[in-house]
Amino acid sequence: MSMGAELAGHVEGVRFTVNGQQVEAISDPATRLTAVLREEFALKGTKVGCDAGDCGACTVLIDGAPVCACMTAVAQVEGRSVTTVEGLADNGTMSRLQRSFLDHGAAQCGICTPGMLMAATALLDSVPEPDELQVQDALGGVLCRCTGYRRIIDAVMDAGTRIESRGKGVGAAIPRLDGVPKVMGTDRFGDDVAAADTLLVRVIRSPFHRAGFTLGDLKGFVAETPGLVAAITAEDIPGRNLFGVIPPFADQPVFATGGETRFKGEAVAALVGDREVLLDLDLAAVPVSWSERDPSMTTETAKTTAPMHDSRSGNVLVEGFVARGDIDGALAGAAHVVSDHFATAFVEHAYIEPEAGTAFIRDDGRIEIQACTQAPHMDREAVAAIMGVAEDQIVITPTAVGGGFGSKIDVSIQPILALATRITGKPCRICYTRPESMRSTTKRHPARMQVSIGADAEGKLTGLRFDGDFDTGAYASWGPTVANRVPVHASGPYSTPAYRARAVALHTNGPVSGAFRGFGVPQAAIAQETLFDRLADACGIDRLEFRLRNTLRDGQPTVTGQSFRTGVGIHACLSALQEPWAQARAAAAQWNGDNPDSPVRRGVGLGTCWYGCGNTSLPNPSTIKAGLMADGRVRLHQGAVDIGQGSNTVITQIFAEALGVPTSAVDLFIGNSDVTPDAGKTSASRQTFVSGKAAMLAGLALREALLRQGNVSDAAEISLDHGKVVLRDGGAERQVDPAVMAADADGFVLRVAETYDPPTAALDGNGQGEPYALYGYGAQMVELEVDRELGTVKLRHITAAHDVGRAINPQLVQGQIEGGIAQGIGMALMEDYQPGRTENLHDYLIPTIGDVPEIESIIIEVPDAEGPYGAKGLGEHVLIPTAPAILNAIRDATGAVVTTTPATPDRILTAIRAAQA
């Protein structure tokens, strides 16, 4: 270290107050205040999302003013007063703002919540009754990726008003059951669980898209550097240096081998050591030599370069295909045909919590990993193979997850943590930096799509042809799923007599593309939905009416030849928009007519979606275990990971309803991979449907077991009362006393475990079959204005009608709709991940609180025969219609046809001028 010797004498700490308490920090005075609060004082409520002032999760108050603690040297708070989220509650009682966040559903994953609360507290201190603009100005510096901000705005504006009881059981808009720790700042996320003095792990990564590399004497480097404990390379991996979410396609090494890295950010080694020493280390000084090689960065070059993976000629990972009817004849014979080429960008998940966790050797000698994840059992399987041990030798304990959206299904930190703790024998922790998270984890696939759609003179669809190349990056991840899902969905929820869709996932030296809310379907919907508007215009039919004429109905075959007897809800969704559509169109026309000289034009656009819930034609089971404990409480082992979407609440509501008790009678238990059974991954909009169905079956089974104990009829009422189970059946009352019953290893005196696997059937060579047991549906309408001189867009209002079958919890449904729309807005207008260029949250833009307009959610309930209480999935559906609806509204306002996303101001302006020419 080259620090000034003249400074070395200072030993006095920095004195300041935290939440009213006098403290003295002994950390180096240049240390970020975030690190001092979190590491020295164990105040983990202040979150770190970027260390760069871009996300605001670390907002604290210094002498009452909000600042980012990540950019404040601890020395700068000498003598000042710091307030953190831990200081908001009064003796454990939530402040009214915290209460309001909980009541309004303003916290989903909860990672941004402390920052939001602190910024809002400062506002309310000076403006007790702020208007919406004041709230936006005050909270504009805190990013949220889950909520879409609207509930947060409401929570701040209504901070004084309590929302009282909202019903019970299925259908009740109760606040999320895991919400209190989120608003109190006490929830424990991936980087919040490490004990003090846990060793840190940092990863050495390729600085080039493609490079040759040689590892130098890393062990020697460790020996020479005080504070470093170990270097880990591929040679240290006891099992298989390979992972992948779909086992037959597993192709990604934990650490690259063969002297070549395939994408910028690929790991080659890791260092383990004292936290402060490692954070102070310039990783460029680590002895690894690199030689940059020519990369293949597009799906076009992928087709002509040597295969990156031996068995995949032409760099084709997977080609998905669905065909039905005579597409050439259908298009040739159509009265109107529209065609175009579309291109989308890499989209980054941009959860505010970077990948983080801790691993240690348990007393029983096994490795336990506590980390943020969407798929604990898949993590266990992957880590066990890498460590060369049986699966039961690895324990995965999910922490709270600060957003996932698909990327935290894949392993990232888990194998590296397992190796580090096994090699050092000590607890190890890791937390990716924001750039590292963005570089090394998965993205949404960029798509290049050529699409043609035909209609007859009456505006009935005759056929649709889709050809798409999807950039799957260097490794497989969920590329096969995207390639298979897209052809199944590219028709949209419309009756399409002739159809031919091909989607190819191609390897490039780009970042690994994987799962991201919608698995390729949002990209395909941009093409289909924007062409629908042009086709409707060509037919001379109103754009909503055109869609209504062509919607799938009960009993009609989808493009895979599957037909549903009930539950096809798209017609109901579009019908719900008819009146808003007519009004919005008239209002826009009126405004445009009244303001002919304004550079601003208003427009209205539609988008729709369908989305199959669960794996595509593959087994997809969930198991839910529950039982009666000796103390008379009911415990629900809830393995469907809640990444903010609400499965902890929804699964509990379903289970409680089936059991016949209030949700408050059920203790939610997350546990770990030892004791909580596999409820599958949190993806594919499957948890409410698949795990929910398993929870319903478990609830019914436990109910039956209890009733049998009391020998009462099915009509009996169950209540839990001071350690006893009381069964009331007509006039009869029976008691079950669990205290006298034998408890098993889990503490259950009565236990049930139920598994549900949705019925699907394989697709044949033409993609015909039954890929999903159910689909969910939706339609959205966007009202916006476009500045014709600058190409900028201001969203004015969004109306979203989504068919969820049955809204288990309407507040969570609303939260999903608003959050999905916010991500759709980002995809449409601003998000463009360019490896090497936008690896932070100021060059990679996601919507802020000022970019999401008022959203009216219309919940449609067309019950599904298969889903629990009729429920369908929702998580991914909500994002799909937004981007095409925005593009359609831009065209409606200006005539501009934008076929490349994001539709940035310069792309829109170029399209406006092309339309004017």
134-193 residues near other proteins, rule: CB under 8 A: 136-138, 140-143
Smallest distance from other proteins to CB 583, Å: 26
Residues 622-681 that bind other proteins (CB under 8 A): none
Q: Which of 770, 839, 861, 876 is catalytic?
A: 876
| 779-798: contacts with other proteins (CB under 8 A) | 789-792
State both tokens at 880: 């799909």
The correct pick among 40, 78, 236, 326 for binding other proteins (CB under 8 A) is 78
Q: CA separation (Å) from 617 to 198, 610, 771?
A: 44, 17, 4
Binding mask 251-290 for other proteins (x = CB under 8 A): -------------------------xx-xxxxxx------
What are the backbone dihedrals phi and psi of residue 628, each rounded to the nearest 5 degrees, phi first? -95, 130
508, 471 contact by CB (below 8 A):
yes
Q: Output the CA torsion sign for 847, 516, 472, 300.
A: negative
The answer to whether 132 contacts other proteins (rule: CB under 8 A) is: no
Shortest Å, Cβ 525 to other proteins: 22
Of 895-914, binders to other proteins (CB under 8 A) are 904-906, 909-910
- Report the residue number, 141 or 185, with the smaller CB distance to other proteins: 141
Query: Candidates 305-313, 376-384, 839-847, 888-896 — which segment interacts with other proteins by CB under 8 A?
Result: 839-847
Q: Please identify, using beta-carbon distances, which residue of 10 and 188 lies nearer to other proteins.
A: 10
**For residues 404 and 681, is the Cβ–Cβ distance under 8 A?**
no
Secondary structure tally for the chain: helices H, strands E: 23, 33
Of 280 and 292, the one with the shorter C-beta distance to other proteins is: 280
Positions in 430-449 near other proteins (CB under 8 A): 433-436
Position among 17, 76, 305, 766 found at the interface with other proteins (CB under 8 A): 76
Angle at 278 between CA 273 and CA 282, to 5 degrees: 140
Enumerate residues 6+ apart whose C-beta is below 8 A from 904: 791, 829, 830, 832
Binds other proteins (CB under 8 A): choice among 117, 119, 661, 670: 119
- Residue 713 or 834 having the CB closest to other proteins: 834
The first and second tokens of residue 694, run together, are 């398993």
Enumerate residues 841-860 that contact other proteins by CB under 8 A.
842-843, 845, 847-851
- Helices (H), ranges, 312-444: 327-332, 376-387, 414-424, 434-440
* Three-class SS state of 703: helix
C-beta of residue 325 within 8 angstroms of C-beta of residue 160: no
**Stretch of 4-12, 17-25, 590-598, 765-773 contacting other proteins, by CB under 8 A:** 4-12
Strand order in the sheet with 498-507: 316-324, 498-507, 461-473, 447-455, 336-343
Cβ atoms of 87 and 41 within 8 Å: the answer is no
Q: Do 380 and 402 contact (CB within 8 A), yes or no?
A: no
Q: How far is the CB of 842 from other proteins (least distance, A)?
A: 6
Q: How far is the CB of 411 from other proteins (least distance, A)?
A: 22
- Looking at the Cβ atoms of 461 and 893, the one nearer to other proteins is 893
Active site residue 839: no
CB-based burial of residue 319 (10 Å sphere; 0-12 exposed, 13-18 middle, 19+ buried)?
Answer: middle
Tell me how many residues contact other proteins (CB under 8 A): 77
Residue from the set 65, 332, 732, 741 that interacts with other proteins by CB under 8 A: 65
- Out of 40, 75, 158, 423, which residue is the one contacting other proteins (CB under 8 A)? 75
> 780 φ, ψ to 5°?
-130, 150
- Would you give the binding string for other proteins spanning residues 15-54, x where CB under 8 A is met? -------------xxx-x-----------------xxxxx
Among 578, 711, 713, 834, binds other proteins (CB under 8 A): 834
Instruction: Report, in Å, the least distance between residue 907 CB and other proteins.
Output: 9
Given a contact cutoff of 8 angstroms between Cβ atoms, the answer to whether 189 and 47 are in contact is yes
298 or 433: CB nearest other proteins:
433
Q: Which two tokens stand for residue 230?
A: 């170990």
> Which residues make beta-bridge pairs with 810?
none
Applying CB under 8 A, among 16, 38, 47, 56 the residue interacting with other proteins is 56
**Smallest distance from the beta carbon of 72 to other proteins, in angstroms?**
6
Q: Which residues 6+ apart lie within 8 Å of 150 measured at CB?
A: 818, 852, 854, 855
CA distance readout (Å), 162 to 77, 118, 237: 36, 20, 55
Active site residues: 876
